[in-house]
A = this chain, B = another copy of it.
Amino acid sequence: MFREKIKVFDCTIRDGGLINNHDFDDRFVREVYKALSAAGVDYMEIGYKNSKKLFSQKDFGKWKFCDDDHIRKIIDGIESKTKISVMVDVDRVDIEDVLPRKESPVHMVRVASYVKDIDKAIFLVNHFADKGYETTVNIMAISRALDNELNEALHQLEEECKADVIYLVDSFGALYQESIEFLVKKFKSILKSKEVGIHAHNNQQLAFGNTIEAIIHDANFVDGTVYGLGRAAGNCPLELLIGFLKNPKFDIRPILDLISNEFIPLRNKIEWGYIIPYAITGILDEHPKAAMVLRNSAKKENYREFYESLVGEELD
């Protein structure tokens, strides 16, 4: 697949940070930035811009806050065309922490929002856009969105919001490609002035397949992470995306080196990927948090009991 407008967006450090409280050391983050730059990846999301009033710097690593000076240390001296992104959650950011674009090493701010919070997301995005940033709105938990509410939100985004890209986020790794097709077509039909993006989770080994499906239906921003790193089942493997896209600007080899040298050792320290309890939450369209608790317990391989506990919950 060659379409020049397709942008590959890496969120290894940002989404991977959800496993280790955003506590990657500088050397590791620099190695990721170096490899992404050499591979021709368009964007690297380095973490969250969270309020230090809400979260303690004692409890979390620096990539939960993404101070501009910390980012400068990572990128300093590395030749790169890769743009830097930070993510912002509705209700968790101090907007004054985000300086005007020309005073910051950050190029893009992505606002993560549920459908119900779309007004807050639009306020934030317009603020950051006015400060000079590229912006996106990432609509989380899209598999749970009611169609009428989603339609209204998309119309608001088209009419009131300065975001360049609107993402659909399959937070639970629950969607099959028929629903990806349905949603991307809906997004494209309403968001006539914007690009559409996809952020897929890999609970059912569908993150890559669903990303291809979104590309087929004209999504141009595609998220991936190196070796699929990310909370719980992880994300679309970046190396597969680069293998699929035929734009000659991409080079898979620096990513292969990065996996050999950094991610194979990392996998012995933290867990992510195709693990049955995460597959179960994906099949059931549930947040993975119950599975994450299970994986930290002595019952981590007791899949039947876990499955039955979820399907046996009280019905309303």
Contacts and interface: CB of A to CB of B under 8 A. Distances in A.
A143 to B, nearest CB: 14
Contacts of A177: 177, 209, 212-213, 216
B205 A260 contact: no
Nearest to A261: B301
A178 interface: yes
Contacts of A100: none
Contact of A256 (B1, B228, B276): B276
Q: Give the interface size class of chain A.
A: 35 or more
A288 interface: no
A252 interface: yes
Contacts of A206: 208-209
Q: Is the interface of A mostly helix, strand, loop or mixed?
A: helix
A58 B18 CA distance: 51
A302 interface: yes
Interface string A42-79: 00000000000000000000000000000000000000
Given A205-B208, A243-B279, 13 more contacts: A176-B244, A204-B240, A204-B244, A206-B208, A209-B209, A209-B213, A239-B279, A243-B280, A243-B283, A256-B280, A257-B303, A259-B303, A260-B302
Interface in A224-274: 227-228, 237, 239-240, 243-244, 252-253, 256-257, 259-260, 264, 273-274
